[in-house]
Structure 1
Amino acid sequence: MDNTRRLVSSGSPLEPRIGFSRAVRKGPFVAVAGTAPIGADGRTVGPGDVHAQTVRCLDIVEAALAEAGASLADVVRTRIMLTDVTVWEEAARAHGERFGAVRPVTTLVEVSRFIDPDWLVEVEVDAVLG
């Protein structure tokens, strides 16, 4: 088994500044960091729209998994962090659109805020290959 530690970057300027990777693969395990709804232009996608923001987070997560050699089908745990848990159903709808057949364990939790006040949601995942 290859236990090489593989770092995946999304190109965020915060990664080197904070000292984190978008994802890390070690052997069959892949962890994807808390992922915010940031567009290619560096701006928040879907301001005020939890569903659109969750979709964007999951797009970024899916790309990070692919770069690490994994897919959504390998995900065993997701964590959805919301600044307002009363809108959980919008985040859950986006989650269900991607994970309806995979059905990883999932936690939805309310947080007080994120780095950017326009972010309503962040998503992190853990995957196991094989």
Structure 2
Amino acid sequence: MKREKIFTGSPWESTVGYCRAIKIGDKIEIAGTTAMKDGKVVGVGSSYDQTKFIIERIKEALAELGADLSDVVRTRMFVTDISKWEEIGQAHGEFFHAVQPVSTMVEVKSLIHPQLLIEIEAEAIIDNKIC
């Protein structure tokens, strides 16, 4: 099957050997996405703002591959402070209330930058219909 890949131009992509998103057949996988833009953290100190920014970035990657948020079937959220689950959940729900993908949220010790509070992965299947 053909692989369509999206890259951000981040120096980490070539060093680590990964891409931002990949589409194989009707399945799309979005790599762990953080609230970084132009080397700076967006929404410093706010799990809610970082979550919203991340989901917007995921939405953009999906669009580049011919999909949208309604095609998402799973999200995985890695958070540095699980006590912030409600504000993270609120932001997630603003995008996925009607879609209701399966979702996982786990607390991790840290992310790649100390000001990052959340990282999200997503999986989508094109032409997935909302129940």
Q: TM-score range by the shorter chain?
A: over 0.9
* Aligned position for 2:47: 50
TM-score (ref. length: structure 1)? 0.94
Matched, 1:116 2:113: yes
Matched, 1:19 2:22: no
Q: Runs of 5+ in structure 1 lacking a partner?
A: none
Q: Runs of 5+ in structure 2 lacking a partner?
A: none
Q: CA RMSD in A?
A: 0.9
The alignment covers a number of residue pairs equal to 127
Note if contact 1:10-1:64 (Cα within 8 Å) is conserved in structure 2. Answer: no
Where in structure 1 do 4 or more consecutive aligned residues deviate above 4 Å? none
1:36 and 1:45 mapped to 2: Cα distance?
A: 9
1:83-113 C-alpha deviation (Å, 9 max, x unpaired): 0101011111110000001000011110110
1:4-27 C-alpha deviation (Å, 9 max, x unpaired): 101111222211111111100000
